[in-house]
Structure 1
Amino acid sequence: MQALNSINIMQKFSLFEKQWTPHIIGELNGHYVKLCKLKNDFVWHSHENEDELFMVFKGTLLMDFRDGRTVEVKEGEILIVPKGVEHRPHTNGEIVFNLLFEPKATSHTGTVESEMTVKELGWI
């Protein structure tokens, strides 16, 4: 059982520097709450069975979709990417502080295997 304490999200962001590597900060109802620092481009991917929630704490996240659209997600905003929708997160060169909320079974890069894929996530 997790301790019944508040979690200081900005303090948790201060514990790591590596980009595109999610860190787990909480678990509820079969989902993980993860923090990730993002910079530049990630890989195109989708998640066949899971929706993904992106919440930006610092910076601006850009999310590309295969239909040619790019959605801008600013500080204090969220974006939910439905399961099966191919997407590519990226930034304009700044480091973005992002919170992810997704089922525990969600693979980092979906069905795409790349040098950016993280297979084992750690808790902070």
Structure 2
Amino acid sequence: MLVGKINIKEKFSKFSEYWSPRIVAEMNEYQFKLVKIKGEFTWHDHKDTDEVFIIIEGFMSIEFRDGKVDLSEGEMVVVPRGVEHKPFAKDECKIMLIEPRGVVNTGDTGGKLTADSDVWV
């Protein structure tokens, strides 16, 4: 079996939309997604899964009902299942998300920022 490498910078160059995760790989039941963010997202949670944010480039914050965490390049955070959160970034930020296959970016909240959960790049 030939195993190919994935160039994350090259994958980021293939899309420009914000808040629209793109799948770059799968491992077992988990997907590795790249997303560009800018501005504010919506309050939401994921009732059945934790969510991992790894900052590839830029700076972002995640607001929680009881506080906030600031993240910069090379840092990561695990948001536990069921914890309501709202990501935001003043300027463009590039992130890798790791979550189970089929997770909807807005959880059960829905709205105009809900993205298709099965777009590969």
Q: Which interval holds the TM-score relative to the shorter structure?
A: over 0.9
Matches within 5 A, 1:20-99: 20-67=19-66, 69-92=67-90, 94-99=91-96
Distance 1:49 1:120, change over 3 A: closer
CA-based RMSD: 1.3
Q: Structure 1: 5+ residue runs without aligned partners?
A: none
Deviations along 1:4-42, one digit per CA (max 9) or x if unpaired, are 111110111011100000000000110100000000100
Structure 1 segments, 4+ long, off by >4 Å, are none
Post-superposition shift, 1:121? 2.7
3-state secondary structure, aligned to 2:55: strand
TM-score, structure 1 normalization: 0.93
3-state secondary structure, aligned to 2:40: coil
Post-superposition shift, 1:122? 1.1
Q: Is the 8 A contact 2:45 2:83 kept in 1?
A: yes
Task: Work out the CA distance in 1 between the residues paired with 2:105 and 2:118.
Answer: 9
Identity of aligned pairs, percent?
Answer: 38
Q: How many residues align?
A: 121
Q: Structure 2: 5+ residue runs without aligned partners?
A: none
TM-score, structure 2 normalization: 0.96
